[in-house]
Chain A
Amino acid sequence: MTEHVVQVDIFWADVAVVGAGPAGLAAAVAAAEAGASVAVVDSAAQPGGQYWRHRPETVIPDPDGRGHHDWDVYLDLRSRFDAARTRGAITYLPGRSVWMAQKHDDGFTLRTTPTLASPTPVATPTLASPTPVAVRGRRLVLCTGGYDRQLPVPGWDLPGVMAAGGIQAFIKANGSLPGRRFVIAGTGPFLLPVAAGIAEAGGTVVAVLEASAPSAWLPHLRAAVGVPEKALEGAGYAATFARHRIPYRTRSVVTEVLGENRAHAVRTARVDSAGRVRPGSERVYDDVDVVGFGWGFTPQLELPVSLGVATRIDADGSLVGVVDSRQESSVPGLFLAGEVTGVGGAALAVLEGLAAGGAAADGTGAPPSSAILPPKAAARAERHRRFARAMHQAHPVPAAWSEWLTPETTVCRCEEVTAGEITAARSELGAADSRSLKSFTRAGMGWCQGRVCGFAASCLAAGNSHPSEPSLAASAKRPLAAPVSIGELAALNDADY
């Protein structure tokens, strides 16, 4: 038997940043420009996060940003990021996932593992290390973003059903489409760029089904006009929809995905404001090979939760971290930026990242800097937050969504736990939150650790569409934030830090 002797390298920095999307790039750049030494850990092979995901730079070294919003903002952040790397202020660790974060008296340790067994070569040289790399930062900025929130529906576990954001990511990363004929369903303005992106890449969008209604925005118009660029963006999508003749149906949902071993069709229905199906309104769209679902976003919260930050429920029902105006959480020295503080889009994430990075650099030995955003930027961030609140209120998770389920509907895709098993655990065993549900049914115990079904399972356990903070926090509690090999765990015994 070969004995595994694993050398654990620790990389020390003033500020450690997790994530290289809009918030993470901004935080890294701000901290580095304030004079701090910065380490950036990102699970992807190249910077950009989900929002600015682009084709591999090994193949397309100079992406033109087609299909992207605010590409100029990305290019600006990226050139500052690259410049800081060149002068040694930023150390970039791509293709690595943080599987555990720990707090010490004088900072934080991040333990990382390769995202893939044989990582993709990256366009720019990086710290090449086959061994586990731990990063130690005096301050920590978590910018872990989020992913599509899902509500189960009969047939959503068939191949061909994807997250709406997953379809967009596929197009951005590959420059091709995952199918031919698409139905996009759920709620929120995000469905629009997904459908527009499909049409512009040459796919057919059979229909976009929005559960809410435009009138839901009426009480929030003041917040909407505060961010005029969103209206412009919306007008752009309207033009794309008209050009490609994409049907946009409001107060409509997919009630079932049809198919034997893959999606072939969808059954849809008109719904009332609570999401209850209007009798007689059902229709079937045939010849559909990809169905995209998006019900808003779930912030990726396991690292903040594991470090003990105070959390709250945001306007969209998501669990988010509480921060002050400097983006500092309830844990001193731990900053949060982007979707983890509330889903608000990339423009807000950049502003929060700049604030967090600047504040995190302050007092790490770096010269004092303008840690807090200038008044105009702060006001802009506030307008974006108001817009996000309005958006969340206009596009709620339908209160009666669970009525679309049958007892056989899979809720936990990993452990294949059905809605019937969950309702039984609730009514017969008294499982009223995600944690007891997990121990009774294994829902949330599989590969994804409840990331996909956590919100829905919490709704079903609570018997409503507003899961409690403790239930969502229990679901976000993941002792291992990423899968890690036994060898890497064993190596911990020798690591004395």
Chain B
Amino acid sequence: MSISFTFNGRPLEASAGQSVGAALTSNGFTAWRSTRKGGRPRGLFCGIGVCFDCLVTVDGDANQRACLAEVRDGMVVDGVEPLEGDRT
């Protein structure tokens, strides 16, 4: 089953039951956070909720782990995208 969500206002599709991280990855995004010090892009790393690298804002709640949160229909996801051209 396909569901719709937005990432930084952009409408996207995902499969029901996917994690937010998987939904972003399958839409071609590998990074959605920027580090505090070096401004470096970050996305999924440990994949199981340990490293907190994949933090993203979900429906207004900041600092949610994209690897654990399940994407839902109508979900509003916000993060820091890397510059154009860095995507897959």
Contacts and interface: CB of A to CB of B under 8 A. Distances in A.
B37 interface: yes
Interface residues of B, number: 46
A368 to B, nearest CB: 38
B70 A45 contact: yes
Given A118-B61, A174-B22, A262-B82, A159 B69 contact: no
A178 B70 contact: no
A56 B68 CA distance: 11
A451 B51 contact: yes
Interface in A317-376: none
Interface string B4-40: 0000000000011111011001100011000111101
Contact of A416 (B31, B38, B44, B59): B38
Most chain A CB within 10 A, of B21, B50, B63, is at B50
Contacts of A158: 41
A262 B41 contact: yes
B48 A147 contact: yes
Interface string A38-52: 000001110000100
A279 B1 CA distance: 52
A118 B18 CA distance: 16
Give the most central of B35, B37, B53, B61: most A CB within 10 Å. B53
Contacts of A446: 52
Nearest to A173: B19
Interface string B35-79: 111101111111111111101001101011101111010000000
Contacts of B68: 44, 115-116
Closest 8 CB pairs of A and B: A166-B47, A59-B17, A447-B52, A117-B61, A261-B86, A159-B31, A174-B22, A159-B30
Interface of B: 1, 15-19, 21-22, 25-26, 30-31, 35-38, 40-53, 55, 58-59, 61, 63-65, 67-70, 72, 82-83, 86, 88
6 contacts: A116-B69, A166-B67, A169-B48, A169-B67, A174-B19, A262-B30
Given A117-B64, A170-B67, A176-B15, 11 more contacts: A50-B48, A56-B70, A116-B69, A118-B61, A148-B46, A170-B21, A173-B22, A174-B15, A175-B15, A261-B86, A452-B46
